[in-house]
Amino acid sequence: MHEFELIRQVFREADYARPGGAVVRSIGDDCALLHIAVGEQLAVSTDSLLEDVHFPAGADGFLLGQRALAVAVSDLAAMGARPLAFTLALSLPRADVDWLRELSRGLQAMAQQTGTPLVGGDTTRGPLNIGVTVMGTVPDGQALLRSGAKPGQQLWVSGPLGAATAALQVLQDGDNDYPGLFAAYWSPRPQLELGQWLRGKDGAALDVSDGLLADAGHMAAESGVRLVIERELVPVHPEALALSADRAPEWALCGGDDYQLVFTLFEQQAAALQAQFPQACCIGRVCEGQGVLLVDGQGRPVEFSRRGYQHF
Ligand code: ADP
Ligand code: MG
């Protein structure tokens, strides 16, 4: 038990685990205690990162810590929630304290960037797995749901896609000439400001974790609408294009892990959105019907499968 005690110390003594603000009691008791204001709902989401499944074996602790928290906080952004706190469930094959300190430094960087303090967790022995549960708050009834898309709305994405898939190609080749891709994969930026801005605007939102077309399919199904996406309007990350002008457009449509938000809006809100979030792009529209329809510049349907797409 001695080494687990050591592990708890690493996290308990970290700057980002201090009580304060809404955190009444942090690490050290049987539960953390969090204050939630009247009129707010709690948004909760869990993500696990398992070695060899979600990240390459031997990954750098700092980068992993950043990414583990970023992908979890992205779910709060997609609901329009404001981060409150997170807990950390660690399964570790051995107690490598140096590596854990690096993991903790990475978690701290993202915790400070997103305003999400650590308030507790659990530590067990087993295959390397990093489980993060994030909690956030949203005013009663104002969370952004996947089911909120309405025919007549525009479909938007918060920024360029394809970088994370491109990064995985580069990482496999051991190539380090694409710092923007590296950053996109290891420290995606949760779109918290945008998520909160979208509250009360009558649309739907989700974050792109599986790929634009796959995730748009989830929104279409939950909303009972058809989403029409214009292929030429989908923003492709410039460094992904630099890596492969041929393949980058497909990475942007089908690759996952970018953690941009996909959302819907009525046209009247578009100018205000663009003024505040210039990276956001309108990529299509919400129609009656079902599923996702990808069209080319002439409005002709483009066939695609989960793995890729082809022209008719
Ligand atoms: P219990 O057996 O009562 O669950 P633990 O010994 O598992 O208590 O944990 C003691 C304290 O340390 C708790 O406050 C718990 O939240 C915290 N803790 C344990 N592991 C971690 C971890 N990996 N990260 C952050 N806090 C942790
Ligand atoms: Mg415990």
Mean pLDDT, range 258-283, rounded to an integer: 98
| Measured distance CA(30)–CA(46) in Å, rounded | 20
CATH architecture of 146-295: Alpha-Beta Complex (3.90)
| Measured distance CA(84)–CA(115) in Å, rounded | 8
Mean pLDDT, range 154-160, rounded to an integer: 98
Fold classified for 3-139 = 60s Ribosomal Protein L30; Chain: A; (3.30.1330)
Residue 29 Cα: closest atom of ligand 1:
14
Q: Is the pLDDT of residue 309 over 80?
A: no
Quote the percentage of the chain above a pLDDT of 70. 96
Tens digit of pLDDT for each residue in 122-155?
Answer: 999 999 999 999 999 999 999 999 999 999 999 9
Q: Is the pLDDT of residue 267 over 90?
A: yes
- The two structure tokens encoding residue 94: 């051995």
Helix/strand/coil (H/E/C) assignment for every residue in the chain: CHHHHHHHHHHHCCHHHCCECCEEECECECCCEECCCCCEEEEEEEEEEEECCCECCCCCHHHHHHHHHHHHHHHHHHHCCEEEEEEEEEEECCCCHHHHHHHHHHHHHHHHHHCCCEEEEEEEECCCEEEEEEEEEEECCCCCCHHHCCCCCEEEECCCECHHHHHHHHHHCCCCCCHHHHHHHHCCCCCHHHHHHHCCCCCCEEECCCCHHHHHHHHHHHHCCEEEEEHHHCCECHHHHHHCCCCHHHHHHHCCCCCCEEEEECHHHHHHHHHHCCCCEEEEEEECCCEEEEECCCCCECEECCCCEECC
**Residue ranges covered by each domain of the chain:** 3-139, 146-295
Mean pLDDT, range 87-92, rounded to an integer: 96
Q: What is the pLDDT of residue 312?
A: 37
Q: Please tell me the distance between residue 227's alpha carbon and the centre of ligand 2 in angstroms.
A: 44
Which ligand has an atom closest to residue 86 CA? 1
Tens digit of pLDDT for each residue in 48-80?
Answer: 999 988 888 888 999 999 999 999 999 999 999
Which ligand has an atom closest to residue 27 CA? 1
Q: Which residues are annotated as a binding site for substrate?
A: 54, 257, 309
Tens digit of pLDDT for each residue in 177-209?
Answer: 888 898 999 999 999 999 999 999 999 999 999
**Banded pLDDT at 3 (limits 50, 70, 90):** confident
**Banded pLDDT at 306 (limits 50, 70, 90):** low
Q: Is the CB of 120 under 6 A from ligand 1?
A: yes
Q: Please tell me the distance between residue 8's alpha carbon and the centre of ligand 1 in angstroms.
A: 6
Q: Please tell me the distance between residue 80's alpha carbon and the centre of ligand 1 in angstroms.
A: 29
Dihedral over Cα of 168, 174, 178, 183: its sign: positive
